[in-house]
Amino acid sequence: VPEQVAAAALAEPMDLEVGKRRQRISIAGALDEFGTKKSAEIISQIRVGSALGETNDQIAKRLTPLDIKQKDQAAALVNTMTNHIASTARVEVLKQNDDILKGMRRIATLDGRTTLFCISIDQTIIPLDGVRPPYHWRCRTTLIPVLKDEYARDIPGSTRPSVGPDGVEQVSSKTSYGEWLARQPASFQSDVLG
């Protein structure tokens, strides 16, 4: 299965929103701008960091030989690539269980940095062959399986984290971004919505 996931992640291009247009780019295409040597280092550091269980930020910090602009680009690439690989792996596993699944629920991060697009799709259900994250550079939206009605069970008390102006708070896993944002102070809402 790891070989299938790796092959799928490398073969399946990412479909990213860039400004008002879409950019369809593979991992190899995204790495091309760094040159062969730096691309190999980025891939190597992602492998090492993943094996060590490091965060995306910790992996990006390993990329010391890059200049400031390249470090920012590499950090964006690390975030975007790890989301793409994780989404691909998740979907490959879910496809093996398509007999009990209705689809996948898109889950956006509940904080002040989430894009308007990801805010708008939070908690929506897509088919297993639907367009999956990442939806843009540095996208943090993820997918969770949705069981068919005959297999679904309500899990009372399930939560998801949120980061508002008062810090980290656990909210119901059924809370959408819009519902969560409506409970935040007007100044925070204004910052998020622009």
What's the CA gap between 3 and 9, in Å, rounded? Answer: 10
Which residue, chain included where needed, has tokens 């891939």? 43
Reported confidence tier of residue 67, pLDDT bands at 50, 70, 90: low
Which residue, chain included where needed, has tokens 């969770």? 144
* Average of per-residue pLDDT values in the chain: 88
Residue 8 vs residue 76, higher pLDDT: 76
C-alpha Rg value of the chain to the nearest Å: 18
Question: Each residue of 120-137: pLDDT tens digit?
Answer: 999 999 999 999 999 999
Reported confidence tier of residue 91, pLDDT bands at 50, 70, 90: very high
In eight-state DSSP terms, residue 69 is H
Question: Each residue of 145-164: pLDDT tens digit?
Answer: 999 999 998 888 899 999 99
Question: Each residue of 10-55: pLDDT tens digit?
Answer: 778 888 888 888 888 888 888 887 778 778 877 788 878 888 888 8
What's the CA gap between 62 and 185, in Å, rounded? Answer: 37
Are 42 and 63 in contact, with CB atoms under 8 Å apart? yes
Nearest Cα residue to 177 out of 125, 118, 136, 134: 118
pTM of this prediction? Answer: 0.82
Residue 118 vs residue 5, higher pLDDT: 118
pLDDT at 108: 98
